[in-house]
Amino acid sequence: MNYYDSAGLLVLGSRFRRLSENFLTTVNSVYQQQGINFEAGWFPAFYLLKDQQQISIKQLSEAMGCSHPAASQLVTTLKKQGLIIAAPHPNDARTQMLSLTPEGQKLLKQIIPVWQAIQTAVDAQLNPVATALLNLMPVLESVLNPRELSEKIKEQLNHE
Torsion of CA 132, 137, 143, 144, to 10 degrees: 130
- pLDDT (0 to 100) of residue 59: 92
* Identity at 96, one-letter amino acid code: Q
> Domain holding 107: CATH number?
1.10.10.10
Tell me the β-bridge partners of 52: none
Q: Which of 1-5, 14-18, 140-144 has the lowest mean pLDDT?
A: 1-5
Residue 159 within a domain:
no
- Tell me the mean pLDDT in the region 25-29: 96
Residue 144 within a domain:
no
Residue 135 within a domain:
no
- Tell me the mean pLDDT in the region 38-42: 95
pLDDT tens-digit map of 41-77: 999 999 999 988 899 999 999 998 889 999 999 999 9
Residue 118 within a domain:
yes
Residue 151 within a domain:
no
Residue 87 within a domain:
yes
Q: Tell me the three state secondary structure of residue 146.
A: helix
pLDDT tens-digit map of 72-130: 999 999 999 999 999 988 888 888 899 999 999 999 999 999 999 999 998 888 877 87
More confident of the two residues 77 and 12 = 77
Residues 62 and 45: beta-carbon distance below 8 Å = no
Q: Please give the distance of CA 44 from its chain centroid, rounded to a whole number.
A: 6
Domain of residue 78, residue span: 12-126
Tell me the C-alpha distance between 30 and 115, whole Å. Answer: 10
Q: Which of 3-7, 79-83, 105-109, 151-155 has the lowest mean pLDDT?
A: 3-7
Tell me the β-bridge partners of 85: 99
Number of structural domains, the chain?
Answer: 1
Residue 145 within a domain:
no
Residue 139 within a domain:
no
pLDDT of 143 strictly over 90: no
